[in-house]
Chains A and B, each alone.
Chain A
Amino acid sequence: MAITNLPKTPKIHRIPQPKFIDAIRWLSSPSPFQKSFITSLYDSDFHTPSLEIHSLDPSKTLTTALFSWTPPSRISSLKSTPSLFAASTFLGSLHIFKTPEEMSVLGNDMSDLGSKTSDMEPVVSVVGREFHVGSVGGVDLMEGGSECVSVGEDGRVNLVDERGDFRRVFDGNGLVSYSAVKWASPSEFVTGGCGFGLQWWDLRKSGAAVAQFKGNWDHGTTSGIIHSIDIHPSRKHTCLAGGSSGTVFAWDLRRQQEPMILSSIGSSDTMTHPLSESEVWEVQYDCYTKSLNSNISSSRILPAMISSEDGILAVIGQGEEPTELLAEPCAINSFDIDCQNPSDVICSLEWESIVILSRP
């Protein structure tokens, strides 16, 4: 057996935590040796949520949090850009923070940090029944932009600006509910929710979504909820979505009726058995994995990373055998690929631990 072509296995660091991790994101950092990430935690002994920024040195040991903030309830969604990060809660509030780099703290002398935890305060907080009622399903910050979009289980779609004012884009009055959102361009974004539904919104055309996709392959016995959406900056017409029953598919605006299924239980046309049969909690395009196929047409789906309830972290490509990076005995609830150094992936596990993968 020739084993020379086998890919090298990634380095895996497991860091047990004393608290449940709701979500985790990398933060951009000025130095490649001093990485930092933001994580939303839930202390089950005291029923207290917290939002913490940790720094990670090359030995991958965690010390006390650099910054910490106590949100009004548990965090339902967390997104970060190089300058800002946003967190939404189960009680329907949204909080936007400047990253430490932006606050020019990390750039300064770090020696006094790390030994004790400093408090941080959101630059924008939107609270109240006028904003969202019930849990906020998803938020997204525009890269380099100033607006944050939030969607909720109440069926509302809101835009929050940097001053903390918000405007309603749509109100579903509880008849629909949204669980994921992603910006496609400064005026367009995509939302996802029940029934594998995706909606394409254009802020220049108000009132309703400009395009809708209704999934029709759910079998009645299982739920069909979109949990995560990603859009590649170079392919803004295609939206990648992951949800229930191990479903991962791409929806191309130019071919709205033909979703490209990358993995699913029900589909017989995919060549391999589904990677996962349970909830796919997160999907992200993986710019680190190069597609084996040299055909780089714009209709081709780029490699994507997924994490699932049954503990799989894997990279799938169109028409390619998926690569499993992790197979855990518990759910991988969220993960993030470092945009500065895409070989590094950080994951949060159901069993109160963080896993950091450094791919060769």
Chain B
Amino acid sequence: MPDVAADSAASASGGALVPFVPDTEIAVVYPLHHGLKPPITRVSISWARGNNLRVSLLRNPPYNSDSDGEIGGKVVEVNLDSGAADVRESVQWRRIAYGSVTPFALLQSRKNSASSLSKLQSSPSPFHLDWWEHVMEYSKDIKELLGNPKSNYDPLIEDPKEVLKKGEEPTSLKAAWELMEMFYADKLCQSWLPERLVDWLADYDCLLSGDQPTVHSKLVEFQGTLVTLQVIEDDPKYWEVISSALAIGWLEIVVKLLRLHGSYQLDQLGHRETENGLVETVAVLISMMPRFRPELKNGKLGECFEAKPDFMKAWEKWREQITKLDSSAFWVPCHHRQTREGLKNLIQIMLGNTKILCTATAHWIELYISHFLFIRPFTAGLEGMYNLAQKCVQMKPMSSPHKLLRLIIGIIGENTEVVLAECSRGFGPWMVAHAIELLTARSDQADILLHKEHDDIGGISMEELHRLVYAQVLTSHFLTWQIAPVYLTSCMKQGMSLLEFLLYRQPAQHNQLLLKNLEICRLYELDHVSSNIMKVYEILKRILDFIYQMNTPSLVSLSSANSLPVAFVDSET
């Protein structure tokens, strides 16, 4: 049955199959800075590289050539992008594009030599690294490029009231890359994926606080008020922030905050001894929390257990201690109500009280992480993780999920197509073209899916398609087009023909650029292309020389834009 609402929507959009809603109804005006004296008699417009329009403006050829010192015309390029706001971004983007060439090329050459070697040898040599280890090396190089790990600067005098350490601003691109790496490439962290996710959230929780508050944003807010607070433990915010931080496993922050408690002050220690004892006991218990992981980074709290039986034993013991504290007699003489309730709340979190965990966390991913930490520390396997995620999303629904969260759902849902689509939608062609290497690192299923040739897209595979798309993006900027051949030549079916096409279309307004084009032809053994390019240039050069000799003033002076130097007006003489 056709939906009535859909029908009316279709008629409203003028019968279009896909309703097109332009972003803005207001016409955008792009000023042209050509600096020519009017009148301008001819204007020609064509597409240039990327989102640029090339506008050629020509004046009437002057009849008295010597008196008019004006140039006969100009070629200017107009950028149709949104404007100067993202210049820094584009600089950063080019840096990533440059830096990823070497790791990508190295991995491709290793792949080629590995496949030729496997044809020769029947059994893999024991001296050879497993393929996923090569991919991890590649991933490490790329990660370095996307931003260095938080700089661990240690000030000589630590500010006791600085709860959150300031580091490098994390990017969602790197966050997404790390997700792909931990789930698809890194074989070593497969046994402790949940704890790996805890680390990931600790680094990137701040990225999620766009439209909805996060534990991170709560902490930032509290940090701001911290200096002005007189009696910190009277503030309900203090206890709220502590329980939130504990729920997602930021133990060192919890302990640091707890030790700001007023009962630690020397003048109060005397009459608040029991209270202080309770606070300290909870702090010690928190710092002793058993973690099911091989190691912890410097400064992080908890006790690591790699073997499951050891961890289970420690976990049971720890829970026992908490239960014992919960039912201890020391709570009665503790007269500070907020402290008593706050600490009890922390104990409930450590005992895995679902309701309290749910109120302590903001995003579903935070709730998810708290489940791993305090309710189901033995969760293993993607299926279990997926079911748990579904449950958490239901408990904390979101109107517009963040692109990173959509990616996580795709990954733990084990749907390669969704993961590719989310990568492409949220992080662009660079991400897809490079992350495919991670996707196929250990999974044969993804490998088959990505390398299957599809007739409907010209017989190329998904992998090739995404590389071609990225190469297309690279060619749209005159500083990055030289990188495109690296990606094009890794495309078996369409790559070389597109490379030839690209080389023919390169402008060469001066010798150096031409020589750089010819160098690419030489590298990829495209002698016929280079001889054709040279022929074209030779003809252009002769035309120009002719104009120079005739000294015709109708020669169009060129802008520094990328254009062939052959725009000139027919001289009527």
Q: Enumerate chain A residues within 8 angstroms of B566, measured Cβ to Cβ.
A: none
Give chain A nearest CB distance to B103 CB in angstroms: 10
Q: How close is B37's CB to chain A, nearest CB, in angstroms?
A: 17
Residue of A whose beta carbon sits closest to that of B99: A351
Q: List 23 A-B contacts (CB under 8 A).
A: A18-B88, A20-B479, A44-B479, A45-B79, A45-B84, A45-B90, A47-B559, A73-B560, A74-B560, A134-B544, A134-B548, A135-B510, A174-B548, A179-B511, A221-B530, A222-B518, A222-B522, A225-B511, A244-B515, A279-B516, A279-B519, A351-B94, A351-B98
A window 89-131: CB within 8 A of B: 90-91, 129
Q: Is A340 an interface residue (CB 8 A)?
A: no
A-B contact count (CB 8 A): 81
| Known A16-B95, A20-B479, A225-B511: A175·B545 in contact at CB below 8 Å | yes
Q: Which residues of B contact A189 (CB under 8 A)?
A: none
| Binary B-proximity of A229-268 (CB < 8 A = 1, otherwise 0) | 0000000000000001000000000000000000000000
A221–B531 Cα distance when bound, in Å, is: 7
Give complex CA distance A350, B512 in Å.
12
Q: Is B101 touching A174 in the complex (CB atoms < 8 A)?
A: no
The residue on B at minimum CB distance from A349 is: B98
CB–CB B511/A174 < 8 A:
no
Q: Which chain B residue lies CB-closest to A281?
A: B512
| B511 interface neighbour in A48, A133, A153, Cβ under 8 Å | A153
The answer for the CA separation of A74 and B544 in the assembled complex, in Å, is 20
Q: Is A352 an interface residue (CB 8 A)?
A: yes
Judging by beta carbons under 8 Å apart, are A45 and B87 in contact?
A: yes
B437, CB-defined interface residue at 8 Å: no
Chain A: CB-nearest residue to B478: A44
CA distance A78 to B36 in the complex (A): 29
Instruction: Check A352 against B98 for contact (C-beta < 8 Å).
Output: yes
Contacts of B477 in A (CB 8 A): 44
Answer whether residue A188 sits at the interface, using C-beta atoms and an 8 A cutoff.
Answer: no
Q: Report if B275 contacts A (CB, 8 A).
A: no
Question: Pick the contact of B516 from A174, A179, A331 — CB < 8 Å?
Answer: A331
User: Considering residues B516, B519, B557, which has the most beta carbons from chain A within 10 angstroms of its beta carbon?
Assistant: B519
Whether, in the assembled complex, B102 has its beta carbon less than 8 Å from a beta carbon of chain A, the answer is yes
Bound complex: CA A179 to CA B479 (Å): 23
Minimum CB–CB distance for A26 against chain B, Å = 22
Residues of B within 8 A of A225 (CB): 511, 515
CB of B545 within 8 A of CB of A352, answer no
B84 partner residues in chain A, CB cutoff 8 A: 45-46
Interchain CA distance A16-B519 in the complex, whole Å: 24
Interface size on B, residues (CB 8 A): 39
Q: With A154-B548, A329-B101 as known contacts, state yes or no: A47 contacts B561, CB within 8 Å.
A: yes
B385 to chain A, nearest CB (A): 39
* Residue tally, chain A, CB below 8 Å to B: 42
Q: Give the chain A neighbours of B88 by CB distance below 8 A.
A: 18
Q: Once bound together, how far apart are the Cα atoms of A154 and B94, in whole Å?
A: 35
Q: Which of the listed residues A45, A91, A179 has the most CB atoms from chain B within 10 Å of its own CB?
A: A45
Q: Judging by beta carbons under 8 Å apart, are A76 and B510 in contact?
A: yes
Separation of A197 and B559 alpha carbons in the complex (Å): 30
Give CA–CA (A175, B549) in the complex, Å: 10
Chain B residues within 8 Å of A16, by CB? 95
Residues of A within 8 A of B101 (CB): 329
| B534 close to A (CB within 8 Å) | yes
Instruction: Judge whether B515 and A90 touch: CB under 8 Å.
Output: no
Shortest distance between the CB of A349 and any CB in chain B (Å): 9
Min Cβ gap A143→B in Å is 26
B515 A18 Cβ-Cβ under 8 A? no
Q: Are A352 and B94 in contact (CB under 8 A)?
A: yes
- Tell me the interface secondary structure of chain B in the complex: helix
Contacts of A350 in B (CB 8 A): 482
Smallest CB-CB separation from A128: which chain B residue?
Answer: B69
**Is residue B17 contacting chain A, with contact meaning CB distance below 8 A?**
no
Residues of B within 8 A of A351 (CB): 94, 98
Q: What separation, in Å, do the CA atoms of A331 and B530 have in the docked complex?
A: 19
Partner of A352, one of B479, B510, B511: B479
Q: Taking the nearest CB of chain B, how far is it from the CB of A47, in angstroms?
A: 5
Contact B522 A42 (CB under 8 A): no
Residues of the B chain whose Cβ atoms lie less than 8 Å from the Cβ of A173:
548-549
In the complex the two chains form, is B479's CB within 8 Å of A278's CB?
no
Q: Say whether A309 faces chain B, with CB atoms less than 8 Å apart.
A: yes
Query: How distant is B42 from chain A, measured CB to nearest CB, in Å?
Result: 22
CB proximity to A under 8 Å, residues B553-573: 557-561
Chain B, residue nearest A244 (CB)? B515
Residue A56 is within 8 A (CB to CB) of chain B in the complex: no
The CA of A34 and the CA of B560, in the complex, are separated in Å by: 34
A-B pairs, top 10 by smallest CB distance, nearest first, are A174-B545, A351-B98, A18-B91, A174-B548, A329-B102, A278-B519, A133-B548, A45-B87, A309-B519, A279-B515
Asked if B320 CB lies within 8 Å of chain A CBs, one says no
Query: What sequence of 0s and 1s flags, for each residue 322-343 of chain A, a beta carbon within 8 Å of any chain B beta carbon?
Result: 0000000111000000000000
Does A223 make an interface contact (CB < 8 A)? Answer: yes
Q: How far is the CA of A112 from the CA of B515 in the complex (A)?
A: 44
Q: Are B94 and A277 in contact (CB under 8 A)?
A: no
**How distant is A152 from chain B, measured CB to nearest CB, in Å?**
10
Q: Which residue of B lies closest to A89 (CB)?
A: B560
Give bound CA distance, A90 to B560, whole Å.
9
Tell me the minimal C-beta distance from A172 to chain B in angstroms: 10
A317 in the interface (beta carbon within 8 A): no
Q: A303 interface residue, CB < 8 Å from B?
A: no
How many angstroms from the CA of A288 to the CA of B549 in the assembled complex? 46
What 1/0 flags go to A293-335 for Cβ under 8 Å of B?
A: 0000000000000000110000000000000000001110000
**A154 CA to B565 CA, complexed, in Å:** 14
Chain B residues, Cβ within 8 Å of A76: 510
Please indicate the chain A residues that have their CB under 8 angstroms from the CB of B548 in the complex. Answer: 133-134, 154, 173-174
- Chain B nearest Cβ from A150, distance in angstroms: 16
Complex: A331 Cα to B512 Cα, angstroms: 12
Contacts of A221 in B (CB 8 A): 527, 530-531
Residues of A within 8 A of B531 (CB): 221
What is the CA–CA distance of A175 and B542 in the complex, to the nearest angstrom? 9
Residue A192 is within 8 A (CB to CB) of chain B in the complex: no
Beta-carbon contacts under 8 Å, B468-527 to A: 477-479, 482, 509-511, 515-516, 518-519, 522, 527
- In the bound assembly, the distance between CA atoms of A90 and B561 in angstroms comes to 12
Choose from B90, B534, B559 the contact partner of A223 (Cβ within 8 Å).
B534
A32-58: CB near B (< 8 Å → 1, else 0) gives 000000000010111111000000000
- Which residues between 147 and 164 of chain B lie within 8 Å of chain A, taking CB atoms? none
